[in-house]
Amino acid sequence: MKNFLPKQYKQDKKLNINHNYLSEQFSDHKKIFKKIEKVVRNNDFTLGKNVNDFEKRIKKLLKANYVVAVGSGTDALMLSLKCLGVKEGDEVITSPYTFYATIGAIVTAGAKPIFVDINDDYNLDPLEIEKKITKKTKAILPVHWSGRICEMDEIIKISNRYKIPIVEDSCHAILAKYKNKMAGNFGDFGCFSLHPLKNLNVWGDGGFVLIKKKFFYDKMMLLRNHGLISRNKNQLFGYNSRLDTIQAVVALHLLKKIKFITNKRISNSLYLDKKLSKITSIILKKRQKYLKEVFHLFEFRVKNKKIRLKLIKFLQKKGIDAKIHYPIPMHLQPAAKIYGYKKGDFPTTEKISNTTISLPVHEYIKKKDLNFIIKTIKGFFNES
């Protein structure tokens, strides 16, 4: 096995309208370097003051009860499940339409992922959840795909009825809202990623968790740092999942821009919505007034797999970084064979996986870029 990422980075760099926008986003990196110098002088690389400051800022921004910064979004999910006592033989209900990390976190915690099909909004279908609940079900893990919050009213009703905790995968959804309530505040835990291509990002891996109850906050604080309550005293055997102080510096720097980032992504996406809605050969998501979507990506669907492949090649040839998120749903991944899922188990998930295309809509996409994307898609379908 080789590290495939360097080759991918090199290929993506060749495209003019790119999902990767980090050079522009961190063009002021010298300011960040100066802040990092203080970390070097203070030697507080591990859980230093900037980590505390970041947690306080996030708590205020997202109106959370408690916040704990951790090593990654994946760890945020896994540690939340461990806080709930999830262990070998337990089950966690979730979506098969998600990034691998969601399922990896469930499996690492010791549980079996129990998949539920999605709706055309790419999110869990609440009507399917109840059918999958057993005595082994220890959590419901909805994924707010691409910054659109799941139908949480219905999911919360099911959670309350069966007394099953909710762990939100909000890794795409910072500042997203459902009926004026922000992502991460619906469940017992709300998990976020700071991966370089997230809406709020750092120079490596990082994550954080919003937590409702103090009991779980105290436990999470222990779990992320080996279970230590002091330099010499170990309360329980935990994990090493600490947000590096240097990454907290980067996150704090970018946090000042998060509202601008969010508003620009929304503006770009709604412009695409308006213009692409005139193309009869594509299918757009239906937007809801009670949702504030923050658009980690912009997705649309085409008629079938063959058309999608041709369109992606056409767009990439024109320098547009069209991608598929994701061509293979989680229940059909090689790693999931042990669970016995098969093709046809989740028809809506499979339909979307076979027909979806993602476009970049980050804050450095210009109006001329959007117009070029629109013109290129219209040209492919011969629609004016």
Q: What are the Cα distances from residue 298, in Å, to 17, 148, 288?
A: 13, 11, 15
Question: Which three-class secondary structure state does DSSP give residue 30?
Answer: helix
With 0-12 / 13-18 / 19 or more C-beta atoms within 10 angstroms meaning exposed / middle / buried, residue 191 is: buried
pLDDT for position 14: 80
**Nearest in space to 285 (alpha carbons), one of 354, 344, 358:** 358
pLDDT for position 378: 97
pLDDT for position 8: 80
Residue pLDDT tens, the chain, 384 long: 888 878 887 888 788 899 988 899 999 999 999 999 999 999 999 999 999 999 999 999 999 999 999 999 999 999 999 999 999 999 999 999 999 999 999 999 999 999 999 999 999 999 999 999 999 999 999 999 999 999 999 999 999 999 999 999 999 999 999 999 999 999 999 999 999 999 999 999 999 999 999 999 999 999 999 999 999 999 999 999 999 999 999 999 999 999 999 999 999 999 999 999 999 999 999 999 999 999 999 999 999 999 999 999 999 999 999 999 999 999 999 999 999 999 999 999 999 999 999 999 999 999 999 999 999 999 999 987
d(Cα 238, Cα 161) in Å, to the nearest integer?
32
pLDDT for position 75: 98
pLDDT for position 368: 98
Residue with token string 């990623």: 193
pLDDT for position 331: 98
Contacts of 246 (CB under 8 A, 6+ apart): 36, 39, 45, 203
Alpha-carbon dihedral sign for residues 94, 332, 204, 263: negative
pLDDT for position 219: 98
